[in-house]
Structure 1
Amino acid sequence: MLTPLADPTTAQLDDMAEDPGAMLAETSAHAPAVKHLRQALLWPVRLMPVRDAKSAHQAPWHLLREMGEASPWREEIDEYTGDSSRFHQRHYNEFVSFLPYVQRFLYGEGRSRAQAGGPESGSDGDSPMRIFRRHDIAAVRVVTRAGEAPITLEVVHCDLYFFFDVDVVLLNLEVGVNDLSLAQAQELLYRFGRAYPAGWDAEGGALHCMASVEWLAADGRVLASSDAQHSEAFISHVAQHRAPRIAAHWAYLMQPLVSDHSEDKGALRYRQIEYYRMPVMAYLSLDDPKRLTRNDFIRLGLVTGAGEAEAALAGRQDHLPYADHHLADFESRYCYDRFWVDAGAAPNTRYLCNGHALIVVGDARSEFFCCRDRGVLAQFRHQHFLLFLIAHFQKASLLMFSDQLVEALKRLDIRSTPSVKRFKRAIRASFERFLRFTHRYWFHEISEQAQVRALSHLCATHLGLDPLYDEVKERIADMNTYLDADSLRRQANTVVRLTVVTLFGLIGTITTGFLGMNLLAEAEAPLWRKAIWFGVVLVFTTWLTVYTMVKSQRLSDFIDVLSNDRMSFREKLGALVRVWKPGAD
């Protein structure tokens, strides 16, 4: 049973309202301590077509690889293609957790150094997923609210995930820190991972994001810092480009990839494709998870932040972030409680998932929960991360296909034949890419392991992947059906016109060829006279054929009327007259 916490006194509430920092410390003393927090951000963005004609047909990871020392990113030789000494049991457990077709997506087709001759050779299709990692950032120093003490997080790794034949790249940043209060952990999850500020308060402070973020090198040097407090730069950028400005610290992290609306130069450019708040995973090792209240779980599962200031003003310490009726089904919708019991290898372990976030909470006293090789921490960093990555990659890809359709329509000018041709090629290409995406990357079941399958379904359900897939598929199919119908209509019109030309040309052919008759006896005439007659007949025949084609639509209508038994002779004669009547169309 959860023990209710004592309500604060009126004097304490007044002090807390005046000093939110003191209030945080007061309420945090009653909450369980976070012994270790592991937070992983996953930011999907859309890669834009390369503008340089020479590099337009190169895969983006080829361009990144060719930059050499000009780029901080280096292609990662994963544990499945590198030295076997790097391959551990946690990697094996990760591999066997997935079904064979998912294994081919994640790890390729039996890659090895002997077969591929190294990581840079071989077909891209053999390795659908390419990973690049940067090693220059060792830590990140953050301040959650103005006036609070900074928190330094260790950067475990920072990766870019590229995918064959799909113009999407995912940034993955994993950070870790020990010994936090629950409120600090909630604020880190809530504020860290926003591509730009949502707005600013009356004092000019950025809303919902970190007050300060600094990337640190191994020697402690500040490599880049956030500029979220500089509201004018963000406002002017939106006014000028009708697109948000990426905060300076995230722009630095992505370099040499640059925002498509940025004035910075770069061959690899990207656009925001989803909400500015990055999907997040979190692992929280607590000294006593049973002391968490329902409010704590709700704030963790929905990633709403600590919320103590609102609770103090409301006169309640366990103040819910939303209305009671809105949260009535929280446990059934967002919680996976298979291991939320006082028994087992990792007792009192609860998973929370809302699609945008996947959180695991457990007991720091459990060796299995904290084990990075065989336990829950290993599962969080491997199996659970990959199922989260697959779900968000699928969603980002579907949104990318939808964007491409909209852009093709925006560029269409029905009065321009070249524009119409480009539109048709773009739609055909989108249809072909969508088919390849479906057969290579789209699957409903990724594992037969109960836990992985359940968490995968939970992510997919909250992200609405199936309805989104059906919607995009229907849009692309409608476009393709329209193009097919338009092609058939054009072919039918061409056949009708050729039929009319053939029909009326047949009259002259039969007339002049009847019984092999020669109207002009010029067989013995001089060559020059034959040439003149040949030219005259050629010009006349060509003119007659072209004129018949010009009038083919009206002649086709006349033939339809002529073959209609219900039409009178007068109506048929009128149809013949309309062939030459101006404006008869």
Structure 2
Amino acid sequence: MTALTPATQSPSVRLFHASLVWPLQLTPLTRDISEGRHWEVFEALTKDSAWRLIDDEFTEDPTQFEERHYREFVSFLPYVQRFLYGEGRSRNSSADDPPGNSPMHVFRRKDIAKLRLTLRRDQAPIELHVVHLDLYFFHDLDLIQLNLEIRSNDLPLDTVREILFRFGRAYPSGWEETGEGLHNAYLAEWLDADGRVIAQSDTRKREKYLGYVCTHRSPCISEHWACLLRPLVLAHSDEPGDLRYRLIEYQRMPVMSFIAVDNPRQLSREQWVRLGLATTLHPDEALPINEPMVLEFEQRYCQDRFWTDSAAGPNTRFMCTGNAFTVVGDAAAPFFLDSERGVLAQFRHQYFLVFLIAHLHRASLLIFSEILVDAVNDLDIRNDASVRRFKRRIRSNFETFLRFTHRYWFHELSERPHVQAMYRLCANHLRNDALYDDVRDEIREMSHYLDSDSQRRQSNTVVRLTVITILGLIATVTTGYFGMNIIPFGEGPVWQRAVHGLVACGVFIGLVLFAVARSKRLSDFLEALSDERVTLGGKFRALWGVVGRQQR
């Protein structure tokens, strides 16, 4: 292993391109709007806002279909293609079974053109261009994913590392003595095309965050993030809104970064480690050289298929920690910066979808687990309404999990070795397979519990019906022996026969109700009667238990 060397002077990043992928949980819709899906309700609410539903790239005119979209499509296996783009179209498609669309719906807003970041107090602000701002909805999942894509040119490498560390935090984890949000950018501002401020961060409002957590037992998010998501509103806030969301994990958002530098082989190992772990290592912190993540950095987080020693090599290094996906390459290589066929195009399309799917899996599984925990916490076995609600929630969660497994859960995304290798690297660091097994076992245990409880109730019902049938059999055989004419009820005036019928009906109803009420004790008596080991006195005591006080 190469020894760590002191960091050299910070090189210049010719192109910095980054994407935040922020999964959020949607709360169930209220009853008055529950007929629509989340994305349909969102579309209805955003008619007067900047969010707009966008069509996919598969336009009716093939001349408008770009090569980068084609390369993206053919990079994935057929079942992943059906998830991302919908089912294949054919002129011979049956009218009874039309091809299905993608279960993914994307909204985009274009009113935000720039992001102005002031990383620290007294530092000059940095402006980054906002390339895309999208919101992804998914069928059958109470989940959205916010995607913010930004880019800039000619930034110092140290500045890029600080952006990756400080930006993409939903709320401050604490405050400095000067009142600044701990680990946050000093100020983040969204700008429109004319440079006007649309919203800005408020992480310095310490009392706002303290009061919110104290009142709602839930974290509050910074105003500039809340502004992006409206008309979606935070679940526990007092702000009115039909569509509400809550955080799934902690405040650090998953991020992808594309970094083009001159001669990347001149970077020291410390610079590589700090780039790969930029979201977790404080820029001012000394490198923890004895940490396993530093000692085993190359083995754990690097995929060096294209990091070749030859002069003609791509000189491109891929690094992934799960929450951070970083691509570093040579700014002098035209293929690395090619936005149509090169690494940049792959980063924005194939690798973005790989990262999005991996985090879709993790977020969905965490939501399933959260629903199970919430259902158990809500259960009161002494309340019948609570028990029924618990059963409905568990069965609904089980059905949704089955649909998730067959529609969204993949182990292999692509036949291309490097795309598949990056997916496995990301999914392994996120522990998606282990998390899936845990959630599946939890749901299976819940389902088995409900099945066993239903079988127990059915068994008790069968016991009661059996006891009543035995008693009815005695009456049926006896009356059948006498020809059903022991007392001539069929003779006499009409009123007398009606009274006889009502009295007999009342007596029989009383006997049946008594048998149902004492069916458990009658069952115990019949069991004692059939047991040859029970003495005659014991059988009489069991009979007395039917009409007397319940035996302890």
Q: TM-score range by the shorter chain?
A: over 0.9
Aligned-partner Cα distance in 2 for 1:154–1:518: 98
CA contact (8 A) 2:365 2:439 kept: yes
Q: Does 1:225 align with 2:200?
A: yes
Shift of 1:414: 1.9
Q: Deviations over 1:180-222 (max 9, x none)?
A: 1110000011111001111102221111111100000000000
AA at the equivalent of 1:191: R
Match of 2:539 among 572, 577, 583: 572
User: SS at 1:265's partner residue?
Assistant: coil
Shift of 1:83: 4.5
Partner of 1:16: none
Q: Does 1:193 align with 2:172?
A: no
Q: Does 1:479 align with 2:463?
A: no
Structure 2: 5+ residue stretches without partners? none
Shift of 1:303: 1.9
AA at the equivalent of 1:57: E
Aligned-partner Cα distance in 1 for 2:217–2:535: 64
Please give the root-mean-square deviation of Cα atoms over the aligned residues, in Å. Answer: 2.3
Q: Does 1:47 align with 2:22?
A: no
In the superposition, the TM-score normalised over structure 1's length comes to 0.90
Aligned-partner Cα distance in 2 for 1:275–1:89: 38
Partner of 1:11: none
Partner of 2:502: 535
Q: Assess, with a 3 A threshold, how the Cα gap between structure 1 residues 166 and 344 changes in structure 2: closer, same or farther.
A: farther
Shift of 1:409: 2.1
Q: Does 1:504 align with 2:482?
A: no
AA at the equivalent of 1:552: S
Q: Deviations over 1:75-126 (max 9, x none)?
A: 11121246534421111111000000000000011369999xxxxxx99952
Partner of 1:258: 233
Shift of 1:152: 0.3
Partner of 1:560: 527
AA at the equivalent of 1:501: I
AA at the equivalent of 1:565: E
CA contact (8 A) 1:394 1:441 kept: yes
Q: Does 1:66 align with 2:83?
A: no
Shift of 1:380: 0.3
Shift of 1:350: 0.5
Match of 1:57 among 32, 35, 45: 35
CA contact (8 A) 1:64 1:73 kept: no
Partner of 1:490: 457
AA at the equivalent of 1:43: W
Q: Assess, with a 3 A threshold, how the Cα gap between structure 1 residues 45 and 111 changes in structure 2: closer, same or farther.
A: farther
CA contact (8 A) 2:489 2:500 kept: no
Q: Does 1:288 align with 2:255?
A: no
Partner of 2:122: 147
Partner of 2:136: 161
AA at the equivalent of 1:522: F
Q: Which moved more, 1:401-410 or 1:143-152?
A: 401-410
Q: Assess, with a 3 A threshold, how the Cα gap between structure 1 residues 485 and 360 changes in structure 2: closer, same or farther.
A: same
Mapping 1:121-520, distance limit 5 Å: 126-304=101-279, 309-311=284-286, 320-343=287-310, 347-516=314-483, 518-520=485-487
Q: Percent identity?
A: 51
Q: Deviations over 1:286-310 (max 9, x none)?
A: 0121121111111111224775644
Q: Deviations over 1:473-501 (max 9, x none)?
A: 11111111111111111111001001101
Q: Assess, with a 3 A threshold, how the Cα gap between structure 1 residues 346 and 376 changes in structure 2: closer, same or farther.
A: farther
Aligned-partner Cα distance in 1 for 2:362–2:311: 35
Q: Assess, with a 3 A threshold, how the Cα gap between structure 1 residues 222 and 517 changes in structure 2: closer, same or farther.
A: closer
User: SS at 1:178's partner residue?
Assistant: strand
Q: Deviations over 1:382-404 (max 9, x none)?
A: 00000000000011111111111
Shift of 1:378: 0.4
Match of 2:72 among 83, 94, 119: 94
User: SS at 2:188's partner residue?
Assistant: strand
User: SS at 2:174's partner residue?
Assistant: coil
Q: Assess, with a 3 A threshold, how the Cα gap between structure 1 residues 248 and 322 changes in structure 2: closer, same or farther.
A: farther
Aligned-partner Cα distance in 1 for 2:229–2:91: 30
Q: Deviations over 1:112-166 (max 9, x none)?
A: 9999xxxxxx999522111100000000000111111111000000000111111
Shift of 1:171: 0.1
Aligned-partner Cα distance in 2 for 1:3–1:473: 44
User: SS at 2:412's partner residue?
Assistant: coil
Aligned-partner Cα distance in 1 for 2:419–2:246: 31
User: SS at 1:126's partner residue?
Assistant: coil
AA at the equivalent of 2:28: P
Aligned length: 550
